Every structure is written in structure tokens, then in C-alpha cells.
Amino acid sequence: MGKPVILTGLRSNDQIHIGNYLGAILPIVKLQKNHSADYQINMFVPDLHSFTTPIDHTMLYQNTLNNLKVFAAAGLDINNSDTFIYRQSFIPAHSELAWILDCFTYFGEASRMIEFKDKSKKFGDSTVSVGQFNYPILMAADILLYDAKWVPLGEDQQQHLELTRDIAIRFNNKFSDIFTVPEEWKKQLEFTNRSSIRIKSLRNPENKMSKSIQDPNGTILMSDEPDEAVKKVMSATTDSVGKINYDPKNQPGISNLIQISALLKNVSLDDEISTWIDKTSYGDLKQSVAELVKQFLADFQSKLSAIDENELKTKLESDEKQVNEIANKKLLDVQKAVGLRQ
């Protein structure tokens, strides 16, 4: 304890696909390898956030464990003493702090969140829950409970990080310095030495890879049979340009395949672009990516089958006990500040 905190996590309401793995899980594993000596890493599962979208509630608990097993199979060292894994719903302070922060968040700033506005427009106000409106404030509680300065996030969460900073600054100005204000977005990117990775659907490359139920042929699940994944790659939507370029706007399908290839090879995007640029055989690119995906899934699934779920549960229970103590201490500071405790 006492080291600067890096906080990150991944929801557990769906099966994990290769876009989640390459864009979210792998960066977290690399983060641990690069920074665990100097930082405390809070790798939590925000299971309370799962209710903001329709889910199979009978599978939520097991999906949480399954997704943590995916992290372990990806290389996360769950036995690292400075890495804490925990479930959001097992730390009650998250929910209580979220309510207190609600009362210091203005309706206007919360209603400006783009994700909420997009979902309201897409599904209509009658079906978008209050939880969808409110979850950026719960996300702020997730961060501020642990004085997390560094919060690696996807590009779609940038606005929520800015809201967290605004809430923390407002609260600190009123009650003295209770919270550590996380660093701004630009510094977050510099710290993790990354740009936001967004793997696209193989069939609809204008959209990000998403749930299999919505886009079964465009989504490669981590549980897919390797040969089935090959078929998905080989049927990926491309274009009629006839020449390979990395141009996400005009050639999104081709650009998506190049990015997947670079990530699976663990080479820079620029190096992978130079391998393929100006070539004319889309089939060769697809075949190359398909073989990479096939080998990757076979290797990963072998590692996943070797994960001991009981060992994972033991780690969770131990970490959740320690994390509760940390969270409750910060919550008490807040409760005293707002007059709930003396």
C-alpha cells in the first residue's frame, strides 16, 4: 500500500471477443508488466455497471469469474502483491459514494454525456434506464475511492473521465482536499504510451466489434472454434478499391485487418502497414490474418483451460477484504466531510 494507484477494469455482462482482448485486456496485462514494481494496480470488475444494458442475469456471476480467468490466461499475474482484483458489487462503498457524488453533480453536465444521449436517441427515453444516465457518477466513485491518478480508458470514456475530474475538483473546493484528481486525458495516453484501440466488426467495419447476438459473423469470440474464426475472417467485408492501404475512413475493412494483424504479431502498426501497402491481393491479407487468428485462439484456449478457478476465487476473497478496508477509509473521510459522521 502507499504506491500511486492505476485503476482499470472490464465489464462482465457479455462473452469476451477478440476486440476486447486486443483493445482492453492485453493493454492491462502489459500495464502490469511495465508498472507493477512502482504502482498499485486495481484491476476490478465493474459488475454493477452491467445493469445499464440488457443482460442474462442468470449468467452474470459466472461471467465475472470467466472474464477474470481470461485475464489470467492472457498473462495477468494474479499473485502479484501489488495487483488487486475485486468485484465492484463486493465493495459496498462504491454504491454509497456514488449517491453522495450524485448530490454534487449537476443534471446539466450529466445529461451532456454523449453515450447517454446516443442511447436515448437510439432506443428512446422510455427504454433507457436511469442507471444508464447515472453510471458515469458511479464510475467517478470507482476511481475516487482509491485516489487513482491513472485510469487507462477507451476513447469512448474520455468524457466520463473529465466529469470525474470536475466532480473531484468541485468536492475538494467545498470540503478541502478529500480526493486525488485523476490526470487529464492527454496525460493518461502519454502515461500508457498508447492510442485508443478500437477493433471493428468484420462484417460492418464502420462499427466497433460488438456482441455476437447483434453481429455474429462480424465478431470473433474468444470461445470460437479456431476454424470457425477463420471463416469469419475470410468473409470479412472489404471494398472495391483493389489496392491495400491503411485508410480507416475510406477502407475501414482493410484497415481493421491490418490493425488486427499488427496486434497479433506484436509489431508496430507502421511496420505492418509497410508489409501490405500497395499490394493488390485482399485474399492474401485475409488468409494471413486468418492464420494468425487461428493460432492465437488455439494457444489462448489451451492456456484458459489450465486456469484454476478455485485459486482465482481465493485471490478475489483475499483482495476484496483488503480493498474493502481501503474503500471504507476513504468513504469515512467523505462522510465526515459532508456531516454524516464525526
Rg (CA), the chain: 21
Greatest distance between any 2 Cα atoms in the chain:
72
Q: What angle do CA 330, 313, 4 make, to 5 degrees?
A: 35
> Under a CB-based contact definition with an 8 Å cutoff, are residues 28 and 266 in contact?
no
Cα 315 to Cα 14: distance, rounded to the nearest angstrom: 23
60-65, Cβ contacts within 8 angstroms, sequence gap of 24 or more: 60/12, 60/13, 63/12, 63/13, 63/14, 63/15, 64/12, 65/309, 65/312, 65/313
- Strand residues in the chain grouped as ranges (E): 5-9, 40-45, 83-87, 148-150
Side-chain half-sphere exposure of 285, counting CA atoms within 13 A: 30
Active-site annotation holder among 119, 149, 286, 330: 119
- Judge whether 330 counts as a catalytic residue: no
Q: Which of these is catalytic: 30, 186, 187, 211?
A: 211
Tell me which DSSP letter residue 7 carries.
E
Helix, strand or coil, per DSSP, at residue 194: coil
Active-site residue identified among 30, 208, 265, 303? 208
By CB neighbour count within 10 A (0-12 exposed, 13-18 middle, 19+ buried), where does 89 fall? middle
Q: Is 85 helix (H, G, I), strand (E, B) or coil?
A: strand
83-87 and 148-150 as β-strands: parallel, antiparallel, unpaired? unpaired
Helix (H) or strand (E) holding 327: helix 309-338
Let me know if 3 is a catalytic residue: no
- Other Cβ atoms less than 10 A from the Cβ of 33: the count is 13
Closest to 323 (Cα-Cα) out of 28, 55, 89: 89
- Known catalytic residue: 279? no
Please give the positions annotated as active site.
119, 208, 211
